[in-house]
Structure 1
Amino acid sequence: MTGAAGKTIVNPVPYELARRLLASHGMTEQQAHAALAMHVKHSVSLVRAFRDSGVSLEAIDRECRRSNAPTLHHIMPAMDVFYQLPEGLCEGLLAVPVRRDPMTGTIDVATPDPFGDHIRQEFAHHLQAPIRIVYSPLLVVENALEQIKALRKNRERPSASDIPIPLVRRSRAPKMGNQPRTKDIYNPPEPIVLSPGSLPATRLQTSDWQDNRIDPPTVESFHIAIPPSAALPTIEGVSAPFQLEESVAQIEAVLEELQQAATRDQVVRAALRAMEAVAHRVGIFAVRNDVFSGWACTPSFASVDALKTIRVDRHRDTVLSHAALHGWYFGTVPTDAAHQWLADIAPPAGSEIAIVAVRILGRAAMLIVAMELFDSLMATRTAEQVAHATSSALLRVLRSEKWKDR
């Protein structure tokens, strides 16, 4: 289109995903016009319109993964939430409710368009609850909608006037497609064992405080191990199921414990215990000037010797550097050369891991790595809470140590 001054006027693209696809050359202008026309005239979901206009699913997936939304590859629809929504809303928006957070009431909604804020607004309006958008690839969401159709054929939609019939219902804890290992039978009399001299009497120097730099104790002198209980025999092939209520109670108790922690030992112990409620394997890495180094972990994560040898260059493009820079990483285990250290201890390729940064004065001081998650959405939400509580507790302890040195 040409203006009065002869300059070309480009109509702005009102959709963030469309703008990103055009900028990365994942979509041509002709495809964009065709998709937007299909979206406006026929009320076709924008992502579906992109695909039908010839845009590759790989290009769409690549741009969506650059959003701040967590990624979910396996969807179990939350039917109790779905039945609270108007007919056709999920199909029209191409979005599926997958979980209601038992602690905050926040509802997670999976969609192939993580940039579509209108989806969050629509669900928030109808459910009167906070909404968190979760990215799921288009085919995953379409399969989930087909699953919902099948479920509705076998069950009539209840009306508001129906008298509820008491039923014994199973827990709604989501089950992922590639089932992670559940917790081993585990009841140690002393949950955390610190090796002697694990935390030397090092104190934060004034210059370090002013430079906003915090270096944790070296891994050679600090390791936390959670041994299996000697009171219970090892039973091969038998494991305790993931109990959502027990995990929530454990997390709440540990978060309260973090508020009372008086030493770095107690802070790190509590962080490990909190994440153990949602993941089978948990490790903590210290963020140093040039490397990420193994700091503390549960025995299921790695052995003491293996943890001590892990040194990851901060300047390489890894999941640890991503988490330190952006505050988090949630995705599958990479298999390139830069992640060989992770491949040696990680579950099979394709499994999901969650990494969250604990920041002190705006800079990452340590990274919490969780593998073999019991519930991906529960794990990501818990990791955010634990990182925030750990940051506050660690900063309080460091300030206390600084004042004692004066």
Structure 2
Amino acid sequence: MTVDDAALTALTTAYASHRAPVRALARALHADPETAFEEHRAHDRCADLLEQAGFTLERGIAELPTAFRATAGSGSLVAALCVEYDALPEIGHGCGHNLIAGASLGAALALREQLAALDVTLQVIGTPAEEHGGGKQLLLDRGVFEGVHLALMAHPTPHTDTYDVLGSTSQAVGRWRATYTGRGAHAAANPTEGINANDAAVVAQVAAGLLRQRMHDGQRLALVPQQSGITNIIPETAIIDLECRALTMPAFEELRRQVFACLEAGAVATGAALEITTTEPIYEPLLQDALLGAAWNAAMQQLGRPLEGSLGIMAASTDMGNVSQRVPSLHPFVGITGAGGALHTREFAAHADSEEGYRLMDDAAIALAAVIRDIAAEPASRAVLRDRAAQLAEPVQGASAPL
């Protein structure tokens, strides 16, 4: 697939007229990080910019105060650009969400004047709590993505190159809290009358450690005990926060069952009671739509970012995976030139506020706009995406259902 040179030039020119406020917004998000479900100032900054550009704003949608939807156009093809803006505790924008927001907002502004000619309804959806909380799954559950034919965003990485989006994916992840309840006692006077909840947690952690030798490639496991108490009291409560990851939902479910068995072993060994609660929606693997991916690859190459082969499987997870299971989606991972380190570090947070980071954001904004423009301008592509959207929209078990 190739991108029409004249169309790409027009989008580049359109974006250039908005570059300054988009970059200013991205810098402001970076300088003022807010964590999951607390992104009030980020919400307002993004919504205000779109409203000033003529989009119709719905703020605080789906019972989420920091979610929004901005709409322009009234065409038969409905495209959604997803905006992320939550930061990491203490680290800030170590996942580059300020650049993600800028790229999606920039793409929307670049396309704004072409929507009528393209017969497109463009929605810009502010999606809170990607890092923890599964904001996109909550929006899915509450109908925000109903009627959308394609959903897009772009994610920066420290890998420094531009990768073929086709074949790339991410891991499924689920997170839970295990609470053991025992019986308190004096650690010296009557310890035999107690049931040590911490002992149950220790047994579970040992069992999970032994499980690792049987875990398949691509599976990941983390248990983090939330310790409390004092030495002269047998602890009656112990808590473990945990997550597991896998490349497919069947492999994820297999690992979940094994991990829960480890937790149950702690209860059986000590006599403590065990309660496991789901702490946030399950994130599903990412499905890159082939048609959208081909259009993205072509646009990035024509913008001077040659492809360096497939990035393959990202050892990370995103709630955009949940959207991709229900709407034809694009979520490319693309590197900041000269970056290094790893996602979720202070080093990468610095790259997300660098000149090269903002250059990547500019190119990503133009490429996202080009993907929507190229799909909309080609009747066959429009038809394919509409058909795929209808197929994916068939009822399926919600990913956020407790296990």
TM-score by length of 1: 0.22
Structure label with greater radius of gyration: 1
* Structure with greater proportional strand content: 2
TM-score by length of 2: 0.22
